[in-house]
A and B are shown apart, each in its own frame.
Chain A
Amino acid sequence: DAGVTQSPTHLIKTRGQQVTLRCSPKSGHDTVSWYQQALGQGPQFIFQYYEEEERQRGNFPDRFSGHQFPNYSSELNVNALLLGDSALYLCASSLDPEMNTEAFFGQGTRLTVV
């Protein structure tokens, strides 16, 4: 049983570019949440997708957008990249939208903006 998988694992982009990160949830999970983790900080919630819709959104600008597909996989898109967007981007999947059950994380995508 594959856990949460993310791609790519590492990425280097220049300021102003756009990036797309991908996530496949754990088998049987239908809810995907995205987090940004800067160095030395805890993960910060970006948004959550359930039934192909954005259910919750954290305090992130509109440059951050996402999508969930019918197979529950998800994408995170960031436009007009800034140096401050450099971080580890984590995808978490869970069994129910209320997140009262365990959330399983992927290994993350480490994005560096230069």
Chain B
Amino acid sequence: RKEVEQDPGPFNVPEGATVAFNCTYSNSASQSFFWYRQDCRKEPKLLMSVYSSGNEDGRFTAQLNRASQYISLLIRDSKLSDSATYLCVVNPRENTPLVFGKGTRLSVIA
């Protein structure tokens, strides 16, 4: 089982739609969780950290389920500018590097 697995995508959705991405991780002792966004041919940029209590930033909501080793990202009211690849990122334990999923590509269509 891979350390971090994501929905394969791509997701093609109309503007205004709600879309959810899922991610599972294999190491139950994992410490920290993040969603990064990567635009085509650009570097990854932090979208949001994921906390046990769940967190929301505008149209974006991230949730963590430690029991199921599952992370999700919900995007409401999708905009054309949301089109990108969304990377699920896990820090397995202290003093270890970040582990990235393969990413899920989102295309928001007018």
Contacts and interface: CB of A to CB of B under 8 A. Distances in A.
B102 interface: yes
Given A56-B96, A98-B94, A105 B102 contact: no
A40 B49 CA distance: 23
Nearest to B103: A42
Nearest to A47: B97
Nearest to B4: A42
A100 B91 contact: yes
B44 A33 contact: no
Nearest to A110: B41
B100 A42 contact: yes
| Interface size classification for chain B | 20 to 34
Contacts of B45: 105
Interface in A40-78: 40-45, 48, 55-56, 58
A102 B44 CA distance: 11
Nearest to A38: B102
Contacts of B91: 98-100
Interface in B65-110: 87, 91, 94-103
Interface string A71-114: 00000000000000000001010000111101111111010000
12 contacts: A40-B102, A42-B103, A43-B44, A48-B97, A90-B43, A97-B95, A98-B91, A100-B31, A100-B91, A100-B94, A102-B49, A108-B42
